[in-house]
Amino acid sequence: MNYEINVKPIGIIHVEYSDEEIKNAWPGGVEGVIEVFPEYEEGLEGIDGFSHLLVIVWLHKVTMEQRKVLRIRHRRLVRYGVPLSELPEVGVFCSDSPHRPNPIGIDIVKLLRRDGRFLYVEGLDLFDGTPVLDIRALTPDMMPRKISVPNWYIRLREVDLP
């Protein structure tokens, strides 16, 4: 391969909650601030007025061991009373589990306001200190009009949103 994959943070996530509090805030998420480093501030020009941002991050707390996981259960549903044994085991690419070969996180958040290179957002599902790799203003054409999912997933969501 004649290319090199090298990624460096353009910013960092600040939240005033513990990791455990953030886990428990799912699926609503928490408020927080995306700090964009000074050398990238110019890239934010025009971002005011977009209601939502797609934030690409590096899930820095995922270990090399956790990156070997290829099959998962949607464990978050256990807190809604679903026994772990009843959750289907599926491939990691059918899930948003942080434990995946490349722990790249995609988080869609609501932009509350911008103060220079600081973006105040809500709906964050990321730990304090998470490195930000990219930010993309969300536009309606990004999403297909009609999507469908398998039956096992529909059953999960019925439980998931009580």
Interaction site with a copy of itself (CB under 8 A):
1, 3, 5, 7-10, 27, 36, 40, 42-52, 54, 56, 58, 60-61, 70-71, 88-96, 100-102, 104, 106, 108, 110, 131, 133-144, 146-153, 157
CA distance 138 to 144: 13
Are 7 and 59 a contacting pair, CB within 8 Å?
no
Asked if the peptide bond before residue 27 counts as cis, ω within 30 degrees of 0, the response is yes
Q: Report the residue number, 17 or 117, with the smaller CB distance to a copy of itself.
A: 117
Bridge partners of 134?
56
Report in angstroms how near the CB of residue 141 gets to a copy of itself at its nearest.
7
3-state secondary structure of 2: coil
Q: How many helices (H) and strands (E) does the chain have?
A: 2, 8
- Closest to a copy of itself by CB, 17 vs 153, is 153
Residue closer to a copy of itself, measured from CB, 33 or 131: 131
Whole-number minimum distance, CB 16 to a copy of itself, in Å? Answer: 20
Q: At its nearest, how many Å lie between a copy of itself and the CB of residue 13?
A: 13
CB of residue 122 to a copy of itself, shortest distance in Å: 11
* Nearer to a copy of itself (CB atom), residue 14 or residue 136: 136
What pairs with residue 91 in β-bridges?
71
d(CA 100, CA 68) in angstroms, rounded, equals 7
Residue 23 or 101: which CB sits closer to a copy of itself? Answer: 101
The partner residues of 109 in beta bridges, in order of sequence, read: 53
